[in-house]
Amino acid sequence: MELEKLQADVHTWITSIGVRYFNPLTNLGILMEEVGELSRLMVRKYGEQSSKETDSQKNIADEMADILWVLSALANQCDVNLTEAMQKNFEKKNMRDATRHLKNDKLK
């Protein structure tokens, strides 16, 4: 799914099934909550923290999708086209970091 279509689909769902957008600050809080849920699963799967029984009901892919969903809603509310933003972000990184990481001995 392309980002523009994702943003359009999120908008359609929110304005029909979801009734309306939450306030942008509410969505920001929800985004932070979703990132926290992903973090909890990641540190339990890839880190040293012990798992809980409730973790078995959640999965990393679903948590990432939740984050992308809320980020898309925020982008819609802030008039941000994520496709264009990502293209510009790649251009910035390509110019700024063209050789930077190649010179980093910690990455070799």
Q: Are 55 and 41 in contact (CB under 8 A)?
A: yes
- pLDDT grade for 1, boundaries at 50, 70 and 90: low
Residue type, 34: E
Query: pTM of this prediction?
Result: 0.87
**pLDDT of residue 82 exceeding 70:** yes
**Rounded to a whole number, what is the largest CA-CA distance in the chain?**
52
The pLDDT of residue 92 is: 95
Supply 41's token pair: 């699963």
According to DSSP, residue 32 is labeled H
> Rounded to an integer, what distance in angstroms lies between the CA atom of residue 67 and that of residue 37?
10
pLDDT higher than threshold 70 for residue 72: yes
Query: Average of pLDDT values for 60-78?
Result: 98
What pLDDT is attached to residue 98?
Answer: 86
- Distance, CA of 18 to CA of 54 (rounded, Å): 27
pLDDT tens, position by position, 4-58: 999 999 999 999 999 999 999 999 999 999 999 999 999 999 999 898 888 778 8
Residue 87: enclosing H or E segment and its boundaries? Answer: helix 82-96
Classify 2 in phi/psi space as left (phi over 0), alpha (psi -120 to 50) or beta: beta
Q: Please give the Cα distance from 1 to 13 (Å, whole number).
A: 15
List the domains of the chain with CATH numbers: 3-81 (1.10.287.1080)
Q: Is 47 helix (H, G, I), strand (E, B) or coil?
A: coil
